[in-house]
Amino acid sequence: MTTTRQEQARRQVSARDDGVRTPAPRLPRRVGRSTVLWLTVLTTGALVFLFPFWDMLVGALQRHTDPGPGGAVPTPGNLTLHNFTAIDHAISLGRTLLSSGIFTGGVLLCTMVLGLLAGYALAVLDFRGRGSLFAVVLLVQVVPFQLLMIPLYVLIVRAYGLADSYLGMILPFAVNPTAVFVFRQFFVSLPRDLFEAARLDGASELKILLRVAVPLCKPALLTAVLVTFIGPWNEFLWPFLVVKDAGKQPLAVALAGYISDAGRGADNPVGAILAGACVLAAPAVALFLAFQRHFTNTNLGSSVKG
């Protein structure tokens, strides 16, 4: 009884103390408690989400990988870059990275040129069929790739003979529909007068596009690049179907092949696999961390909502 009364008194005092500093006396204490609770939840979550990446890095740098809990702690004497040499020896990082780069670069180039053109026209220009085309842009975002996999394989590999070619890899991904949507949304948000003024000055539509729209669209361009990049860079299934020639396989496909073979020919196969995983994951993660504020929920939300 006495303790409760004391505590009550103390609470009243502290409440009065708080009251001097803040208008809502009891609020800071409650917020404080729930902040601790939420921070605990979030930190636990972050540990679960990030631990595999930590383990990937530590495992890739160890001479002898330890599958037990000790393997997650880097020990100075055990550190080495040998695993990176081993994976390079097995699947030639230079060649596979170049292939990933050509595949991703080709998709980015097509998406930025053709997607920008289409997104701009859909947002700014008045032409026949615009409404139905926009409906199609939304629709193709939900067309599942699994239905298209077999006919695209038959067409591209068998009918057009594009097996083992970069063109065959790039073609189905050439224009990312999400990027078209990002461009369209960006140009819709610009004031209409901008384009009308240029038209009144007698500028041609092509000139307006190149002189007015393109210089303004950097933020949309960046978002579109980020959204588009992770598609081809991380893609496994399609290049796996199209490219059987080891000299042209992108890193994701070559590493998957190496994993299937359980790390043939390496004295530390797990270390070599993890080193390859680090190299594959690094560019996408680095790009995301560098530009993470451009990965806004509105962009992604609208893109997946289709």
Partner 1 sequence: MSKATVADPRSRAGSRLRGSLPPLARLVGRQPIGTAFVTPYVAFLVAVFAYPLVFAVWMSFHDYFFTAPGAGVPHPFVGLDNYATVLGDDQVRQAFLNIAVFLVVNVPLTVVLSLVLATALNAKIPFRSFFRAAYYVPYVTASVAAVGVWLWLFSDGGLVNSLLGPLAPDPSWLVSSTLAMPLIAVFVAWKQMGLSVLLYLAALQNVPRELYETASVDGAGRLRTFWSVTVPGVRPATMLVVILATIVGANLFTEPYLLTGGGGPDGASASPVLVMYQKGIEQGDPDVASALGVVLVVCVLAISLLSKRFLERGDR
Judged by beta carbon, residue 15 or residue 154, the one nearer partner 1 is: 154
Judged by beta carbon, residue 18 or residue 231, the one nearer partner 1 is: 231
N residues, the chain: 306
Judged by beta carbon, residue 13 or residue 262, the one nearer partner 1 is: 262
Judged by beta carbon, residue 3 or residue 132, the one nearer partner 1 is: 132
Judged by beta carbon, residue 81 or residue 304, the one nearer partner 1 is: 304
Residues 6+ apart with CB under 8 A from 123: 183, 184, 185, 186, 187, 188
Rg (CA), the chain: 27
Residues 6+ apart with CB under 8 A from 38: none
Q: How far is the CB of 296 from partner 1 (least distance, A)?
A: 8
Q: How far is the CB of 82 from partner 1 (least distance, A)?
A: 17
Nearest CA to 253 out of 271, 268, 233 is that of 233
Q: DSSP letters of 24-71? A: SSSHHHHHHHHHHHHHHHHHHHHHHHHHHHHHHHHHHTBSS---SGGG
Amino acid at 109: L
Q: How far is the CB of 287 from partner 1 (least distance, A)?
A: 8
Q: How far is the CB of 247 from partner 1 (least distance, A)?
A: 19
Q: How far is the CB of 45 from partner 1 (least distance, A)?
A: 5
Contact 249, 239 (CB under 8 A): yes
Q: How far is the CB of 255 from partner 1 (least distance, A)?
A: 5
Nearest CA to 75 out of 61, 96, 89, 55 is that of 61
Nearest CA to 252 out of 231, 269, 233, 271 is that of 233
Q: How far is the CB of 2 from partner 1 (least distance, A)?
A: 29
Q: How far is the CB of 241 from partner 1 (least distance, A)?
A: 7
List C-alpha distances in Å: 168 to 174, 209, 230, 276: 10, 31, 19, 25
Contact 181, 119 (CB under 8 A): yes
Tokens representing 303?
């893109």
Judged by beta carbon, residue 18 or residue 114, the one nearer partner 1 is: 114
Judged by beta carbon, residue 13 or residue 267, the one nearer partner 1 is: 267
Judged by beta carbon, residue 19 or residue 151, the one nearer partner 1 is: 151
